[in-house]
Amino acid sequence: MNPFPHLFEPGRLGKRRTRNRIWMTAHATLLVKDHLFTEEHIAYYVERARGGAGVITMEAMAAHPTTQPYKGKAFAFDPRMVSQYRRIAEAVHAHGSLILAQPWHRGRQTNSVTNGIPVWAPSAIPCAVYRETPHVMTREDIAEIVEGYRLSARYAREGGLDGIEVHGMAHGYLLNQFLSPATNHREDEYGGSLENRLRIVMQILDATRAETGPDFVVGVRINSDDGMEGGLGPEDWAEIARRLEATGHLDYISCSQGTYLNRMMIYPTSPEAHGYQVPATRVVKRAVGLPVVAVGRIIMPEEAEGFLAGGDCDFIGLSRALIADPMWGMKAEQGRSEDIRPCVGANWCMESIFAQAPIACIHNPAAGAEAELGEGTLRPAKTAKRVAVVGAGPAGMQAAASAARRGHEVVLFEQRAELGGQVAWWSRATVRKELRAILTHLERLLRLAKVEIRLGHAPGEAELAGFDSVIVATGSTPLRHGWTPLRPDRWAGAPLPGADLPHVYTLADVLGAPQPLVEGERVVIYDSIGGRQAMVAADHLAELGRKVSFVTTLGQPGPNLAASRDWGKVYGRLRRMGVQFRTDRELVAVAAGEVTERDLYTKELFTEPADAVVMVLGSSAQDSLFHRLKAAGHADVHLIGDAMAPRRVSDAIREGERAARRL
């Protein structure tokens, strides 16, 4: 008996039937090239269709040349898309899923760097993120946008898709900018009253339905709450939804939240509550009779079933959950929730896009590489080997599990008493506790693959000589010498004065034990790498009641968090916890009860109180075992993860997977 009867009940979208209530919502992949889809892009959608998504909305595609946030963005108004759609539709339909296009326009929430065309918006108000003053759209410009949406609908229908989702009303994009009094200051027929502000949307919907006819699915993506001063709230969006439904053009409404003023409402990192958008979506749902799609960190089938059973929505929208595990639906339908690789809210998917790299996931090595690493691509080994994996961090755990699944006899060694490496450390902090699910999933894979695990044991060369292959995943050790990248010539020499004192610590001392080993009330955290490590250490110690000062050589604390879009969220939380920040400062000496800092630009010296100092300067790869084995002549040795070079969890897991496949 299916444990999720509401989730797997067939649904209706106009005249189309859906096999279940699982909806993969649109998200960027950066798998598009030359404004067209690629084989990797098709494989990405096919994997999610095969895994049980009943409906797939493809990533947002430009409805007009004036919205091109990065080179290569798919153009929905381009007639070349017709043949592209046909290939995608055929591949996805083979697995019983519906697939929709999503034309959209960013309006002011972009810049003109990529295409050299001025940003278009209803009023000349810069976006808080991009800060470029837009061109105020004329009536002729508005007509061009409507025409772009019309062409987008035509090509979607001609390409054999099942429907089209008109986007731009959610997330502060162009149509949202017209709808919101905060961003629409026009005095013509497109500004002022709600009827006027809705005019461009109504024209787009009229044009869309005229192109598609009655049998094609037409929906909209709207907000349920803008979450910004002067913006639209749930009741406002409920009224807009009523008016949109009254056109008779729509088959569904998909709800989201937020604008670029508050992007953590759109795709928040952990520890945001699961289903956080549902209460506002419920307000919209009660205002209309159309099917409504809900989103908002809905991670597990049990959560989805509850929202459907409670009448909060008609479909469950998933993006990051299906990036983490495209087989989410299949596993849920088979009653295998415990096998789902859960989204942990790390936003590595966002970080990869920010870096202009293809979509990725912190612990799904196949995300964006489905053809190479996706479901069904792990083949049995031609010859079974006896394999040792040394180090049970995420790299070693993934390598051991996948090697064993291929038929090898695998022993996983770990010198500590617990699995998980530095991910286990991180999950001790409240703000990163969801990362524990990475290890829970890997531990399950190890059990299912019957990997032999030896904790508290570091094998030597003699013991490892008895294995056919050795994968070295011994990780890295945090540095404490006190020098930053500003002093590369000193890294191999004497430590910073005072760095060897007993009250100087590293991340291992803050997070590497159930309780921090750091003693003293006044703690200085010294960061030179700008990542999440120092921010988490500061949060953890401040939450335990320490008086934390955050000192960095950089111009702002934790600048790398801009990529995951949660810099403001993290920085604001730390300030509310009383953390004090000092930027553009270099530590020049540590002494009992104090530190000496130097301003990087004025060269002034400052003496600040400190009972303890935590160095966050990066890590040193622990690769000596690898080199000893190579020197001893071992025939098959592989170096992966932080032992190769200290980087990210996603790198470690993907390298572990690939190493297992090379055996």
- For 509-559, what is each residue's pLDDT tens digit? 999 999 999 999 999 999 999 999 999 999 999 999 999 999 999 999 999
* Residue that finishes a domain, picked among 339, 373, 407: 373
Strand 605-609 and strand 16-18: pairing?
A: unpaired
- 217 and 147 share one domain: yes
Determine the 3-state secondary structure of 413 from DSSP.
strand
Q: Determine how many CB atoms are found less than 10 A away from the CB of residue 36.
A: 15
**What's the count of helices (H) and strands (E) in the chain, helices before strands?**
22, 27
Whether the predicted pLDDT of 329 surpasses 90: yes
Non-local (6+) Cβ contacts of 507 within 8 A are: 422, 425, 478, 533, 537, 614, 616
What are the beta bridge partners of residue 23?
A: 55, 317
- Average pLDDT score over residue span 318-341: 97
* pLDDT tens column, 449-463: 999 999 999 999 999
- 36 and 126 share one domain: yes
Determine the 3-state secondary structure of 656 from DSSP.
helix
CATH number of 518's domain: 3.50.50.60
Domain that includes residue 84, residue range: 11-373
pLDDT of residue 635: 84
Average pLDDT, the chain: 96
- 411 and 450 share one domain: yes
pLDDT of residue 2: 82
- 632 and 593 share one domain: no
Amino acid (1-letter code) at residue 480:
R
492 — pLDDT class (breaks 50, 70, 90): confident
In a domain, 393, yes or no: yes
- 360 and 420 share one domain: no
In a domain, 3, yes or no: no
- 366 and 417 share one domain: no
Task: Tell me how far apart the alpha carbons of residues 315 and 291 are, in angstroms, rounded to a whole number.
Answer: 7
Determine the 3-state secondary structure of 483 from DSSP.
coil
pLDDT of residue 401: 98
- Average pLDDT score over residue span 585-603: 97
pLDDT of residue 62: 96
Q: Are 14 and 251 in contact (CB under 8 A)?
A: yes
- 355 and 247 share one domain: yes
In a domain, 381, yes or no: no
426 burial level (CB within 10 Å; 0-12, 13-18, 19+):
buried
In a domain, 516, yes or no: yes
* Residue that finishes a domain, picked among 373, 394, 409: 373
The separation between the first and the last C-alpha atoms of the chain, rounded to the nearest angstrom, is 40
Task: Tell me how far apart the alpha carbons of residues 360 and 31 are, in angstroms, rounded to a whole number.
Answer: 11
In a domain, 117, yes or no: yes
Q: What DSSP character marks residue 314? A: S
69 — pLDDT class (breaks 50, 70, 90): confident
- 207 and 126 share one domain: yes
Q: Determine how many CB atoms are found less than 10 A away from the CB of residue 433.
A: 14
Helix (H) or strand (E) holding 436: helix 436-448
In a domain, 71, yes or no: yes
Please name which of 434, 376, 356 lies closest in space to residue 649, comparing C-alpha atoms. Answer: 434
456 burial level (CB within 10 Å; 0-12, 13-18, 19+):
exposed
Whether the predicted pLDDT of 65 surpasses 80: yes
* Residue that finishes a domain, picked among 373, 403, 428: 373
Whether the predicted pLDDT of 497 surpasses 80: yes
Helix (H) or strand (E) holding 315: strand 315-318
* pLDDT tens column, 150-171: 999 999 999 999 999 999 999 9
Q: Are 464 and 634 in contact (CB under 8 A)?
A: yes
CA 474 to chain centroid, in Å, comes to 27
* pLDDT tens column, 187-203: 999 999 999 999 999 99
70 — pLDDT class (breaks 50, 70, 90): confident
- 43 and 25 share one domain: yes
Q: How many angstroms separate the Cα of 355 from the Cα of each of 30, 44, 288, 352?
A: 10, 19, 40, 5
Phi, psi for 36 (deg, rounded to 5): -130, 165
Amino acid (1-letter code) at residue 63:
A
Whole-prediction pTM: 0.96
In a domain, 379, yes or no: no
Ordered DSSP codes for 177-228 = HHH-TTT----STTSSSHHHHTHHHHHHHHHHHHHH-TTSEEEEEEEEE--S
Q: What DSSP character marks residue 300? A: S
Amino acid (1-letter code) at residue 129:
V
pLDDT of residue 23: 98
Non-local (6+) Cβ contacts of 185 within 8 A are: 122, 123, 125, 191
pLDDT of residue 72: 81
Non-local (6+) Cβ contacts of 584 within 8 A are: 552, 553, 554, 555, 599, 600, 601
What are the beta bridge partners of residue 17?
A: 12
Amino acid (1-letter code) at residue 224:
S
71 — pLDDT class (breaks 50, 70, 90): confident
Task: Tell me how far apart the alpha carbons of residues 524 and 538 are, in angstroms, rounded to a whole number.
Answer: 9
CATH number of 122's domain: 3.20.20.70
Q: Are 435 and 423 in contact (CB under 8 A)?
A: yes
Number of domains in the chain: 3
Non-local (6+) Cβ contacts of 496 within 8 A are: 481, 482, 483, 490, 587, 588, 589, 590
Q: How many angstroms separate the Cα of 101 from the Cα of each of 44, 60, 567?
A: 15, 8, 32
Whether omega for the bond prior to residue 234 falls within 30 degrees of 0, making it cis, is no
Whether the predicted pLDDT of 1 surpasses 80: no
The residue behind tokens 């109504």 is 202
- 611 and 511 share one domain: yes
Q: How long a stretch of residues is the chain?
A: 663
The residue behind tokens 């993934």 is 398
Q: Determine how many CB atoms are found less than 10 A away from the CB of residue 279.
A: 13
Q: How many angstroms separate the Cα of 596 from the Cα of each of 487, 497, 519, 586?
A: 17, 10, 19, 9
pLDDT of residue 360: 96
Whether the predicted pLDDT of 34 surpasses 80: yes
The residue behind tokens 């299906």 is 322
- 407 and 510 share one domain: no
* pLDDT tens column, 347-396: 999 999 888 899 999 999 999 999 999 999 999 999 999 999 999 999 99
Share of the chain above pLDDT 90, in %: 97
pLDDT of residue 631: 94
- 358 and 426 share one domain: no
Task: Tell me how far apart the alpha carbons of residues 100 and 216 are, in angstroms, rounded to a whole number.
Answer: 10
Q: What DSSP character marks residue 459? A: -
CA 31 to chain centroid, in Å, comes to 16
CATH number of 627's domain: 3.40.50.720
> Tokens in use for 299?
């991670």
In a domain, 378, yes or no: no
Burial pattern 563-590, b for ≥16 Cβ within 10 A else e, equals: bbbbbebbbebbeeeebebbebbbbebb
- Average pLDDT score over residue span 262-287: 96
Amino acid (1-letter code) at residue 512:
G
